[in-house]
Amino acid sequence: MKRLIKNALIINEGRSFRGAVLTDGAFISRVYEGDEADHDVGNAEIIDAEGKWLLPGVIDDQVHFREPGLTHKGSIATESRAAAAGGVTSFMDMPNTKPQTTTVAELEWKFQRAAETSAVNYSFFFGGTNDNFDEIARLDRRRVPGLKLFLGSSTGNMLVDSREALRRIFSETDLLVAIHAEKEEIIRRNRAYYIEKYGEDALDVTFHPKIRSEEACYASSSEAVELAHELGTRLHLLHVSTAKELALLDNKLPLAEKRITSETCVHYLWFSDDDYPVYGNKIKWNPAIKTAADRAALRRAVNNNTIDIVATDHAPHLMSEKEGNCLSAASGGPLIQHSLPLMLELAAQGVFTKEKVVEKMAHQPAELFRIDRRGYIREGYYADLVLVDPQREWRVSPENILYHCGWSPLEGQIFRNFVFLTLVNGNLVYKNGKMIENVKGMALTFG
């Protein structure tokens, strides 16, 4: 099917210009500048985008869609629908499910499940452990974005705490290695200190960034960066949350030449530790949200390209699982439906430009992970497109939340932009608050 999206403000590759985009099947066939599109568009469906912005679909490199084994929190089907409603057209899911994605068989199960149920495009990180080298060697690098290693506390067998295993993974794989970096020994020490000083029952969420501290993040990140430099590993630091870690990163090299890359998440750019008394456990993540000074430094790092991409670490839990103190309440929260509106709201506030938002959420993820023909509005690329109404205010409420868990830390927030329409591979999957059923995404391909 052909579609002509005309009269849009196209935001792409650092520019904003009035134009039109013609899609044909799964691909973009023409990009026009100005008011005039070619008359030779055949029987294309016409979408008049007057007053709206046309963006490439968001690519989120870090989500936890909870399938298999944790589907009371969410599933590939439910969370991919929320993604589409938020303008996210591709996701990369993490391996800490039940069972964990640490064997090729478990990876293949996820791919099959996504093919059956995902409304948007998909791929899956493979989990590295202390002892699954043989499984890592069997991976098809064109199908997976990389390995995920937990260097801080995790569940089951996902904590890589053997120095020998870490060196072997860093030296023997040509895959990108993405890490959750928090130093377990420091976390344990901090936890013991605060329990002894105040008692466990007194440790509300305000103690969370004290236990999972800046020191815990930097110690782990710096060790990983040092090892990656030594062994030539392609290292990707996930969810950078502190100003101190930025010293480990380079903003002088172009992305294509970087061996050490990084991501921060929308919650670190929006919230600070001043918000814990207001939101409580709803904003409890690992790593913890840090200070307003850290937030300001991360915002600068996005603007000056020290930080390469912005994602969500979308990790839904039931509200009942978020109850308790900072030791017992679940860490993580749902964000993927609201990440693009949040970033465009920050652009409206002057924190970023809308062009920078598109760069960090679409262009740079495509480049960093070498994704085949996605992340840009270009002729010959997949038609993953998002139409945003920049003048339409709306309030986040339970009535418009699509997460399976049914809540958002952003409830009550008014955004001044509205995701109006989402195309995935040229297929209309979401329009004006309504999902289009029975539309399926595709597996991503990596170069």
Q: Sheet with 121-124: list strands edge to edge.
A: 58-63, 88-93, 121-124
- Reported in sequence order, the residue ranges of 39-81 that DSSP labels E, i.e. its strands, are 45-48, 53-56, 58-63
Do residues 301 and 293 lie in contact, with contact meaning Cβ atoms separated by under 8 Å?
A: no
**Cβ partners under 8 Å of residue 151, min gap 6:** 159, 160, 161, 166, 179, 180, 181, 182, 183, 184, 220, 223, 224
Catalytic residue among 294, 308, 313, 384: 313
Instruction: Provide the token pair at 84.
Output: 């589409």
Do residues 162 and 149 lie in contact, with contact meaning Cβ atoms separated by under 8 Å?
A: no
Q: Which amino acid is at 384?
A: D
40 has catalytic annotation: no
Sign of CA dihedral 209, 212, 213, 214: negative
Beta strand pairing call for 434-435 and 427-431: antiparallel
Instruction: Provide the token pair at 132.
Output: 């699954």
Is the bond preceding 99 in cis, omega lying within 30 degrees of 0?
Answer: yes
Q: Which residue has the tokens 């999902």?
A: 435
**Could you give the CA distance from residue 216 to residue 184 in angstroms, rounded to a whole number?**
7
**Catalytic residue ranges:** 313
